[in-house]
């Protein structure tokens, strides 16, 4: 008697079957998935970045206690992160100097991004802890996401896809050049 599982499906037929999923292939994120979203302290991208070349690490500005860099997986062009150098997980773990400089870098980032991109507003926030949506919850970081009146077009709403019109390296160079010295 032949088992119903003995029959092998033809992959070409299966792949052509329409379904409700819209797929955006992002093989560049495989390392992020395979290595986990929660690196140990030695592999923390926010601890490693300051030891790298600014261009390679996507750093746009460095302060004494904190620094600003582009998000490797941006929601919008110019999406920055502000991080303390010290490996602390939560906002209430940071000291007064770190918090003050993160605030100052955030204000400067807003001015710089507004001046070079003519954005209409910003989303600024921190996801504290994994359950709150932090991709890397072990190192404090604040998101600065520029927004434009027309950035909520049909593409992300209908196609569940975000179009980023500029490469990260180009955006980093432009923001870093416009950052006050």
Active site residues: 141
Cβ contact 106:47 at 8 Å = no
Cβ contact 164:77 at 8 Å = yes
Cβ contact 84:147 at 8 Å = no
Cβ contact 91:105 at 8 Å = no
Backbone CA torsion sign across 173, 41, 134, 162: positive
Encode burial over 102-120: b for 16+ CB neighbours within 10 A, e otherwise. Answer: beebbebbbebbeeebebe
Cβ contact 84:140 at 8 Å = yes
């Amino acid at each position: 008697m032949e088992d119903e599982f003995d029959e092998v499906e033809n992959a070409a037929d299966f792949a052509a079957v329409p379904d409700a999923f819209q797929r955006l292939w992002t093989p560049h994120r495989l390392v992020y998935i395979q290595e986990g979203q929660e690196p140990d302290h030695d592999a923390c991208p926010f601890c490693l970045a300051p030891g790298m070349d600014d261009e390679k690490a996507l750093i746009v500005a460095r302060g004494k206690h904190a620094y600003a860099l582009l998000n490797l997986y941006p929601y919008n062009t110019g999406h920055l992160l502000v991080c303390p150098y010290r490996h602390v997980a939560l906002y209430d773990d940071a000291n007064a100097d770190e918090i003050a400089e993160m605030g100052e870098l955030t204000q400067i980032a807003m001015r710089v991004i507004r001046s070079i991109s003519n954005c209409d507003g910003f989303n600024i926030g921190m996801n504290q802890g994994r359950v709150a949506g932090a991709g890397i919850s072990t190192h404090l970081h604040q998101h600065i996401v520029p927004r434009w009146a027309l950035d909520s077009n049909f593409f992300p709403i209908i196609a569940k896809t975000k179009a980023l019109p500029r490469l990260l390296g180009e955006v980093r160079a432009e923001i870093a050049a416009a950052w006050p010295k």
